[in-house]
Amino acid sequence: MTMKKNLIDFIDISKSYDGNLVLDEFNLYVRENEFVTLLGPSGCGKTTTLRLLGGFETPDTGKILFDSVDITNLPANERKLNTVFQKYSLFPHMSIAENIAFGLKISKKSKQYIEDKIKYALKLVNLDGFEHRSVDSLSGGQQQRIAIARAIVNEPKVLLLDEPLGALDLKLRQNMQYELMRLKEELGITFLYVTHDQEEALTMSDTIVVMNQGYIQQIGTPEMIYNEPENAFVADFIGHSNIIDGTMIEDKLVEILGVKMACVDEGFGKMTPVDVVIRPEDVELVKPEDGYLTGEVTSLIFKGVHYELDVMANGYEWLVHTTQYVPVGTQVGIRVIPFNIQIMHKPESSDEKAVEIDE
Ligand SMILES: Nc1ncnc2c1ncn2[C@@H]1O[C@H](COP(=O)(O)OP(=O)(O)OP(=O)(O)O)[C@@H](O)[C@H]1O
Ligand SMILES: [Mg+2]
């Protein structure tokens, strides 16, 4: 495999607002044609990261490289980036066509070229024929799609997209996800993408960056983030997992909720406090007498493909996904195969720093 070069480097970036540290020694690189997604709870610094890269903010310390050139102090309009902001900012006094053509006119493209591009972009976002509509007459989701169209007609090297699909319904959202991935393949665009939606992140990204309170918690492929979360925060954020205090008795044996269970992990030492993560889809419901623990179903919600259940067992409310219908009040046993029990070191403190990732 050929290694693609770094297109963007954030190096030791820190940023505070009014004495509040929003990004703390943030380090991240993005390779050419990579789709990188920032994922994390509200206020963790995602938009700030994009604004720093876009040139709409300056870092307190650290630098940003683009193609190995320091752009930390380069004005926004001289960066080869296009941004779609979280609050899609179309020009209200211009028609849709004028909005889309704005960047192309500045770079003095021919009239025919611009007309073709407008048509192409409107088709791409499923709004053919909207050229002469006013911004006011569009719904939120339509405005959001125009903002995307406006960014892509410039064929930027990098697209910064801040929750660009947030206002769209599920079907449109999936269509747009597909179109954005196609743009990446066909035009070779590099994406730095922000979303709240973990499913969207898992579907679209080459690399996911999980952030919390200005720190990077984990960087990895969707598979790595989902299957091998580095800590309980990532596990919980990605999967709404069961995260239970446990004690590693010895290699391959852990105790949770007063019950010893076989697992596959080794090297935690003896009698070590750990976090034990078990995904809802990995909890097996069996007859009470066959379970490692027994409990009672306390809630049941139909989710379309599966049921989501709460099961109170040994003082812990287990989240369970199953295709079985198990009514509230049923006594059940719980089993988990060793492979599906994930053992994690406890964070040293609740605001543990970024986990270092070696590639
Ligand atoms: N211009 C500003 N002045 C003061 N505080 C700011 C400013 N911009 C951002 N912040 C603060 O910095 C923190 C990070 O904000 P940011 O917008 O980067 O979060 P986010 O991860 O994008 O969140 P969300 O998912 O809600 O969009 C927040 O606590 C926010 O209030
Ligand atoms: Mg934001």
State the CATH number of the domain containing residue 213.
Answer: 3.40.50.300
**Residue 328: CATH number of its domain:** 2.40.50.140
Measured between alpha carbons, how far is residue 132 from residues 84, 119, 141, 151, 190 in Å? Answer: 21, 12, 17, 18, 31
Residues with CB under 6 A from ligand 1: 17-18, 22, 42-48, 86, 196
Task: State whether 52 and 177 are in the same domain.
Answer: yes
How far, in Å, from the CA of 41 to the mean position of ligand 1? Answer: 11
Domain boundary among 176, 206, 227: 227
Give the ligand at the shortest distance from the Cα of 209: 1
Measured between alpha carbons, how far is residue 26 from residues 10, 38, 62, 203, 356 in Å? Answer: 7, 12, 9, 25, 11
The minimum-distance atom of ligand 1 relative to the CA of 211 is 21
Banded pLDDT at 2 (limits 50, 70, 90): low
How far, in Å, from the CA of 42 to the mean position of ligand 1? Answer: 8
Give the pLDDT score at 355.
43
**Residue 153, in any domain of the structure:** yes
Q: Which residues are within 8 A (CB) of 208 and not within 5 positions of it... i.e. 6 or more apart?
A: 36, 37, 39, 201, 202, 218, 219, 220, 221, 222, 225
Q: Which residue is closest in CA terms to ligand 1's atom 30?
A: 43
Give the pLDDT score at 346.
82
Task: State whether 174 and 147 are in the same domain.
Answer: yes
Q: Which residue is closest in CA terms to ligand 1's atom 9?
A: 48
Give the pLDDT score at 354.
41
Q: Looking at 60-69, 98-107, 259-268, 323-332, which range is the least confident one?
A: 98-107
Q: Which residue is closest in CA terms to ligand 1's atom 6?
A: 17
Q: Is the pTM of this model over 0.85?
A: no
CA neighbours within 13 Å on the CB side: how many for 291?
A: 17
Task: State whether 23 and 157 are in the same domain.
Answer: yes
Banded pLDDT at 348 (limits 50, 70, 90): low
Domain boundary among 194, 227, 260: 227
Task: State whether 217 and 257 are in the same domain.
Answer: no
Angle between helices 140-152 and 111-124 (to 10 degrees): 130
Which of 38, 44, 52, 58 should be mutated for ligand 1, with most atoms under 8 A from CB?
44
As a whole number, mean pLDDT of residues 117-131 equals 92
CA–CA gap between residue 45 and residue 158 (Å, rounded): 20
Domain boundary among 201, 227, 253: 227
Domain range holding 170? 6-227
**Residue 357, in any domain of the structure:** no
Q: What is the pLDDT of residues 232-264, one digit of tens each?
A: 889 888 877 898 999 999 999 999 999 999 999
